[in-house]
Chains A and B, each alone.
Chain A
Amino acid sequence: MSTLTRPPITEEPTALGYVETRGLCKHFGDVRAVDGVDLCVMEGEFVVLLGPSGCGKTTLMRMIAGLERPTAGEIYIAGERVDDDVPPRARGIAMVFQSYALYPHKTAFQNIAFPLEAAQVERSTLRRKVEWAAALFGLERLLDRHPRQLSGGERQRVALARAVVRDPRVFLLDEPLSNLDAKLRAVARFELKQLQRQLGTTTIYVTHDQVEAMGLGDRIAVMDKGKIRQIGTPRDVYDNPADTFVATFLGSPPMNLVEYDERTLVGFRPEHFLPREAFGGEADLVTYRLRVREVEYLGSDRLAYGYLEEERRSDQPVIAAVPITVTLPIAEGEAYEFAVRRRDLRFFDARTGLRKPAPS
């Protein structure tokens, strides 16, 4: 009897989450943008919603923010039910949009002060708080400028300062780094992580960039077609993907999937798939013969694209990421013995794509 058991790879928090959704749905006509999402974010946690565009991650965040009304389901923030008629302003959240959404007619100071004015904070306190937030992001000398006089990175900092200035219960960040150039992005990612640690504010972060997700998240929720496919620590999600979607969405290049038997696919990461000689005398290896079609030199790695010579079918070429420290020659057109440790193999049901235990 073949049983399809989904291995227990999701750490279910036992206590009620700080931000929690239950059976949350959003349908636009026939399109199920969000289709029954149960998400539980603990206080102080940094959770990343990761998925391809159109997977529903932004819609999910907008429902938590109160900008979109759910078709069905419940949302709780700090134990208080907020779906239905609690407007965004009463949810105690701060959000940073991908566009930053700075008010073009206000200076940086007025932008940062705007949420405080809504809360009718007293004049002297307001100035102190704005200066504190500006100092946090090194904006002290830019406070008199209008958004159009600021660079992309500076605008992003003003948007973040405006988000932190009034001590929100939750930060919602919608791809806040995607408008920055690559160099700035790595620095901004580091600073964002530092800041979240320092403030300890519960954070939900939407991105389609797996590097951002892996680097920032305490936990990652991988989404596809309106559903959360897996939620767990970056390590968990990467090492133990719950299904073939998660396995191939995370990792660059993605996990190799090869037919194992009629009902099973076997997956292994390119960086675990190395020339047999690189393992030395190690036992418990699985060896394949790889006919190499193409070799890419990427500095730190060589990527070898090819096909397995045994009777194993795979739609995609199999990729091996060989670190530059392995100096064995790999030539295009030749076949080599490649191996992977048995413990690095992951098995999936060929029909459902779900993870399953190793066939005996």
Chain B
Amino acid sequence: MTGRAVLRGAKRVALYTAAAVFTVFAVFPFYWMFLTAFKQNRDLYVGATNLQHVPWIFNDPPTLDHVRLLFFGTPYLVWVKNTALVGLAVVAITLGVAVPAGYSLARLAGRWGERLGIGIFLTYLVPPTLLFIPFARVISLLGLQNKLGALVLVYPTFTIPFCTWLMMGFFRSVPRDLEEQAMIDGYSRLAVIGKVVLPLAVPGMLTVVIFAFTLVLQEFVYALTFISQVERMTLSLGVPVALVRGDVFYWGSLMAACLITSVPIAVVYSSFIDRFIAGLTAGAIKG
């Protein structure tokens, strides 16, 4: 074997090793959730006292007890419905505001557009642990305590800045020539946005939908502050509230909830990933 072939082989091995390491890193949490969700309690907790116990495998046959507790012992499906409702409303509000705002900042505000965009993005960095105090006052003034409406009102305060900034970048990648061409071809600016800009910004809008929905899905602080009744909670709040009872953690059911919630999201993400990457790298001016 020549030196070059050895080098190429070594590079290939290094590449696959790196890929394998990252794969394990990414898959391990899912595997652990899966194990925990279907293990019998004896198998789950015996490791604390028996050091010979192997935690990576099913030592006893798997069980559906934890899943059963989740579905029938807690209002899990109600939380799913609440989360979906809040998520859809927040996504709609976010799109409705972030798309026009992002376009305006990218095109119409001149050199102030960028500074303004960064300014808006900075508000995203103010932590909810700080903001929930004034928000609590606003929510109680509006009489929205313990209602999903409170979350629909508050969540856009962090999804809109981030998504506006995201859309601004996407609109920047649409060549200005295309818009000017369309205006010469006989369209008003509004029609140009509808017929040329938005179709080219679809990957950006998909990204916004997924980001906004994910942010809603994982939000905890505001939900904890504004919602007190279990039937009105979203997943991120309801699951820990109902399945952590004092010192008792229902690990099996907790992990089952995480698994069932995160797998569909992961599938959606991976099926759109090509569009994201296409959206981020396309925009070559000559089409």
Contact = CB atoms under 8 A, between A and B. Distances in A.
27 contacts: A66-B183, A67-B180, A88-B184, A89-B184, A89-B185, A89-B187, A89-B188, A97-B177, A97-B180, A99-B286, A100-B287, A101-B175, A101-B177, A101-B178, A101-B285, A102-B287, A105-B200, A114-B182, A114-B185, A115-B185, A118-B187, A118-B191, A119-B186, A150-B287, A152-B286, A155-B287, A166-B186
Contact-size category for B: 20 to 34
A210 to B, nearest CB: 25
B186 A148 contact: no
Contact-size category for A: 20 to 34
A148 to B, nearest CB: 5
A105 B182 CA distance: 13
A162 interface: yes
A66 B286 CA distance: 23
Contacts, number: 74
Interface string A88-102: 110001110101111
Interface string A53-93: 00000000000011100000000000000000001110001
Interface string B162-205: 00000000000001011011111111100100001001100000
B287 A93 contact: no
Given A104-B200, A105-B199, A93 B184 contact: yes
B188 A87 contact: yes
Q: Can you list the 9 inter-chain pairs with the closest CB atoms, starting with the nearest?
A: A118-B186, A147-B287, A101-B181, A101-B177, A115-B185, A104-B287, A88-B183, A89-B186, A99-B285
Contacts of B196: 103
A101 B180 contact: yes
Given A119-B186, A162-B185, A100 B180 contact: no
Contacts of A88: 180, 183-184
B278 to A, nearest CB: 11
B111 to A, nearest CB: 11
A97 B181 contact: yes
A208 to B, nearest CB: 18
B133 interface: no
B85 interface: no
A89 B183 contact: yes
B19 interface: no
With most chain B CB atoms within 10 A of its CB, the pick from A67, A95, A104 is: A104
Given A89-B188, A146-B287, A99 B183 contact: no
Contacts of A95: 180-181, 184
A87 B189 CA distance: 10
A94 B196 CA distance: 18
B282 interface: yes
Contacts of A94: 184-185
A178 interface: no
Contacts of B185: 89, 94, 114-115, 118, 162
B193 to A, nearest CB: 13
Contact of B287 (A65, A115, A148): A148
Nearest to A97: B177
Interface string B196-217: 1001100000000000000000
B72 to A, nearest CB: 49
Nearest to A91: B184
Contacts of B287: 100, 102-104, 146-148, 150, 155
A146 B287 CA distance: 8
Contacts of A146: 287
Nearest to A96: B181
Contacts of B286: 99-100, 102, 147, 152, 155, 179
Interface in A101-146: 101-105, 114-115, 118-119, 146
Nearest to B177: A101
Contacts of A162: 185
Contacts of A101: 175, 177-178, 180-181, 285
Interface in B227-252: none
Contacts of B199: 105
B186 A115 contact: yes
Nearest to A105: B199
A104 B282 contact: yes
A99 B175 contact: yes
A179 B286 CA distance: 10
B173 to A, nearest CB: 11
A268 B269 CA distance: 70
A67 B178 contact: no
A206 to B, nearest CB: 14
A119 B184 CA distance: 12
Contacts of B183: 66-67, 87-89
Contacts of B188: 87, 89
Contacts of A147: 286-287
A275 to B, nearest CB: 49
Contacts of A102: 286-287
Given A101-B181, A118-B186, A148-B284, 17 more contacts: A66-B184, A67-B184, A87-B188, A88-B180, A89-B184, A93-B184, A97-B181, A99-B175, A101-B175, A103-B196, A103-B287, A114-B182, A115-B186, A118-B187, A148-B287, A150-B287, A166-B186
Nearest to A150: B287
A93 B186 CA distance: 9
A211 B9 CA distance: 54
Contacts of A66: 183-184
A242 to B, nearest CB: 33
A181 to B, nearest CB: 14
Nearest to B287: A147
A103 B178 contact: yes
A99 B186 contact: no
A114 B200 CA distance: 16
